[in-house]
Amino acid sequence: MTQTLPAYDNRDVLLRLIITVYFAQSRKSIIFVRISNISPMRFKLSIIFALFFTILCANRLQAQEKAFPKKGEGITLFLKRHNRTGIAYQKQFIELNKNKLGKRNALRMGVKYTLPPLQGKEAVASAVKRANYEPLFGKELASYKVTSSELKGACFYLVSGHGGPDPGAIGRIGKIELHEDEYAYDIVLRLARNLMTKGAKVHIIIQDAKDGIRDDKYLKNSKRETCMGSPIPFNQVRRLKQRSDKINTLFKQDKYAYKRAIFVHVDSRNKGHQTDVFFYHQNKNSESKHLAKTMRTTFTHKYKKHQPGRGFTGTVDGRNLYVLRHTTPASVFVELGNIQNSFDQQRIILSDNRQALANWLCEGFVTDYNRYKKKTR
C-alpha cells in the first residue's frame, strides 16, 4: 500500500522515506511511505504516521501468534522466551487463555497458548528483524540473503525423518551414538536455507528451536523436536499422520503452482551394509517419479565429477510408504545412506559432506522446477 503526501513546489530538496516492514507470518506485507518535496514539519509528522501505521499492522498480524510451553516454564518465562516481558503482557496472556490454564494459572504441557500481540517498539523491531530471517538456522546463520530468483514461485515442504521420541536408526563410533534424526535434520536445515536464498517458499515441518545448523561431527542427541510446534506422538502411525496432515493443510493454503515435499532419512533397508542414495517416489504420480529421477541424475553427475571412478548405484523406485501415500503434493523420499555403516557414516558426520548433500538436493529441485516451467508455458 502506498501513501503519497502532497508535494511543495518551494522545496528544492527531494526527501524520500521508505519504511519496509516484512512480516514473517505473511511474508508479503510491505508498507511504503513516500514523501516528496515536503516541509520539515510534514516530514516529522509523516514519520510518526508511518510508525503508527506500522505498529497497528504489526499488532494485527501478531495477534494470533501461538506457541507451546516448555517443561518447567511458568507464564513469565514463557512470555520472556517470546520477547514479551512485563505485567501488562502477563495480564493480557491470562485473559486470552483463561480457559486453558491450570490451577493458579499454571501452564499445561501440550497445550498451545495464544500470545498477546507485541506492542510499540517491540512490534516494529520484531517485524523488521524477521525479514529474510529464520531462527531455526541458529544465531549465526538465521539471517540470509536472497541471491537469485531461480526458485521464485516454488514452494517446498521439508521433513527430516523421525524426531521427538523417535531417534530413528542409531549408529555407533566407539561409545558415541549417532542418531539418524539429528543428522537428517541438519541436512534439511541446510537444504531449506539453500532453497530460501534462491527465492523459494519453504516450510520446515520438523523443528528443533535450539539446534540450528551445526558443523560438529558428533551431533548432540535430544528429544526436543516438534512438528511445527506440536509435540510428536510416540505411536508411529500417529507420528507419520501428523506430518502428512500438516503438509496437506499448508498445501491447501499455499497459492503456488509448483509445490513439492521431500522426506529425508539416513537409514537403509540393508542394515550394516554401505549403500548409495535411494530415491523413492509416489506410485502412479508422474511428477513425483520425475522428481526422483531428476534427483538421481543430479547425484550421478556430482559423484562422477567429485569422485571419478567411484561409480554411483543409487536407485529410483516407487514405494508404498505411508507418507508417500497420504501426502498431497508430489513428493520424494530420500535415503541418504546407512548411518549404521562405517563408510556411510563418513558421508554424514563431516559437515562439508552434509552441506554437499543439501546442495545437490537443492540443485535437483532447481532442475525439476525449470523443467516444470518449460512444460507449463
pLDDT at 117: 84
- Check whether 337 has a pLDDT greater than 60: yes
Separation between Cα atoms, residue 90 and residue 74, nearest integer Å: 11
pLDDT at 45: 59
pLDDT at 269: 55
- Mean pLDDT of all residues belonging to the chain: 84
Query: Containing H/E element for 159?
Result: strand 154-160
- Check whether 49 has a pLDDT greater than 60: no
Question: How many Cα atoms occupy the beta-carbon half-sphere of 263 within 13 Å?
Answer: 27
203-217, 268-282, 324-338: least confidently modelled range: 268-282
DSSP 8-state secondary structure symbol assigned to residue 209: T
Kindly give the residue spans of alpha helices, DSSP state H, lying in the chain. Answer: 40-62, 75-81, 87-96, 120-129, 180-197, 236-253, 286-306, 322-326, 342-349, 351-375
- Check whether 366 has a pLDDT greater than 70: yes
Is the domain spanning 135-375 CATH 3.40.630.40? The answer is yes
Question: How many Cα atoms occupy the beta-carbon half-sphere of 151 within 13 Å?
Answer: 26
Which tops the pLDDT comparison, 40 or 370?
Answer: 370
pLDDT at 268: 62
Can you give the residue ranges of every domain in the chain? Answer: 2-62, 66-114, 135-375
What are 172's three cell numbers? 555407533
What are 46's three cell numbers? 509523516
- Check whether 56 has a pLDDT greater than 80: no
Q: How does residue 12 score in pLDDT terms, banded at 50, 70 and 90?
A: very low
